[in-house]
Structure 1
Amino acid sequence: MAESFDTIQQKKIVVAMSGGVDSSVAAALLQRRGAQVEGVFMALAQPDLAEQLQRVRQVADFLKIPLTVVDLAEPFQRLVVDYFSASYFAGKTPNPCVVCNRTIKCGRLLEQVRKNLGAELLATGHYARINGDVTTGYRLLQGVDPQKDQSYFLGLLSQEQLGQLCFPLGGYRKGEVYTLAAEFGLAFGQTPESQDICFLKEQSVAAFLASHSPGQGRPGPMLTLQGEEIGHHAGIHHYTVGQRRGLGLPDATPWYVVELDPARNAVVVGKDADLWQQEVLLSSAHWLSGQAPPLPCVCMVKIRSRHPASQAEISQHDGGGLVKFSQPQRAVTPGQFAVFYQGEVVLGCGEIAK
């Protein structure tokens, strides 16, 4: 959080509320510390919109705070859902939460609450932290709970966004948040975690894509790395790098998806040894400080949100970036994000191209 809890008294802080325990406790914490708290709910045409809005209203009423509903369905569809669908049909495995945080939650929503509600800060229930100021620059830090840290999903944020955001839960562990919920009288108990991809609800990715983009998937060949055709697939959007199940290719040792080739509409398969690589190409590199550090830069890099960070050297490459790991990494997946860390500080990130 850019502002310490000691300096938020009387500040007007609008909390992005989902009806879950995290955003509800974030609102209650800020209220207890003397901030002028209001709630805001993003209407994104979620499958359970009415039910979710009812839960949010109940929490806002309990906390006695105003609640504003902001309709962001159109930009969410265009900037997040369409990106999600197009990525799969282009042979990538996207991360819509990273893009949504940059463009919608900490983008369009942040703009609207500052312009229309006079918010000084937008708070969310993310498990991450912000420190610094406008003079020294803002830094994004990991949350203190390693099992809940969500800094990976915030790697595309800008200095301007970091300076206008507040993450009240970054210094807490999940268990402590449930304890706080009970203290505040918020009736959650140990509720299940919300799904990462909110617009899927109970659907599989394949089922969602079939309804969102009917007719786009085309059958094609399954090829070995040597170009031998050994099977067929129903569409490359059904697969991701590292996938083993559902290939229908019996052999003495398992086959895995090692590449999706949209130019040939092919799923390329290989063995486990073929999934490991030491160099990763990024289509671009984004630095949270606003400028790249001296390159090459040695830091820790995560290639997926739940992937352990590994040491790597980052350098420029053809307008993007090249990540050279100290040790080979398994199942590097185009479309996911490589996020760079120095200690607990997030330096930046880049979308994986290859």
Structure 2
Amino acid sequence: MSGLDLRQVVAELSEYVGAHCKKIYQPHHEQLVLRIKPREKSPQDLVIVRGKRVYLSRRDRPMPTQPAPFAMLLRKHLGNGRLTAVSQHGFDRIITLDFDTKDGPRHLIIECFRDGNVILADSTFTIIQPLTHARYSGRILKKGEPYQFPPVAIDPHDLDTDALQRLLRESQRNVVRTLAGRASLGGPLANAVLQMSGISGDVAAEKIAEDTGTVGKISTALSGILAELSVAGDEVPGGWLILPMEKLDLGEEEVDVARYAVEASPVQLPAHGEFHCLPYPRFVDAVDAWMGNHDAAALARRQSEAVETIGGRAPSTEAETLERRFSQQKSALQGFSD
């Protein structure tokens, strides 16, 4: 998920401030599921797939009978805790969930960059436990260490025409790489802004900065996309599922969106013009329609991976178990009669 995606996720999750965290599961080593119960509403699952996505779902999903150690730790600290805030670190791919628990404030930090991580921290942001220990330049994700957010990236909401012109002037890269990286837009959004502006992404950023009118076009295009995001779920659909046009001509009564969808987006971008865009009330609903089936099968994948890892056979069915016991008993009786 991009910073743009997570901005919409945070807006939609904020509707659940005040909800209580009832259960935490870890059906796969890279997935966590927090079952949250809003007042006077049915429970929903907050699905966290490490480094990839965060969304809400009401799907039935098999869960392990024995919780994994990290899930047990989260249950201990967050069980029945009340969600008090949801925030994004600037425009970065980091979400923080704040909880009021019996032991005081707790923070669950979800990092959606690199390989991703989920970190539980106390009221002072001292790490209680990360899902995965990691060491980066200037950052250590380890029990007992203070959690340090990465340096705050530029929030494109703060980029007026003058600030954008300075950013382009100081860059040694082409304009699309500058917008994607230094302006925190990411590749798809940077390309969308330039396409709307009628500007090639290969042009040097400092050359673009020489023309105030061209910079103004970029600023206007960016502001338009961000303005659309600000009303997503209110005046316009909250999310869109992107499907290839040719998949709609298969003669099927109902198109399998989970099978054919290529993307979920909180806003429609120019690149989506060649696709069919299916609207959803919320962005998290679009993500669930896209990847929910896959993620709900996480436990089955984990069991399959375990079998492959040990090079053994799949778990026996009840019939196979009874047949094996019968053969063992038969052999034992034959040995006794001999």
Report the TM-score range of the alignment, normalised by the length of the smaller protein: under 0.3
TM-score of the pair, normalised by structure 2: 0.25
By relative contact order (CA 8 Å, sep 6+), the higher-ranking structure is: 1
Task: Tell which structure's C-alpha radius of gyration is larger.
Answer: 2
Decide which structure has greater helix share: 2
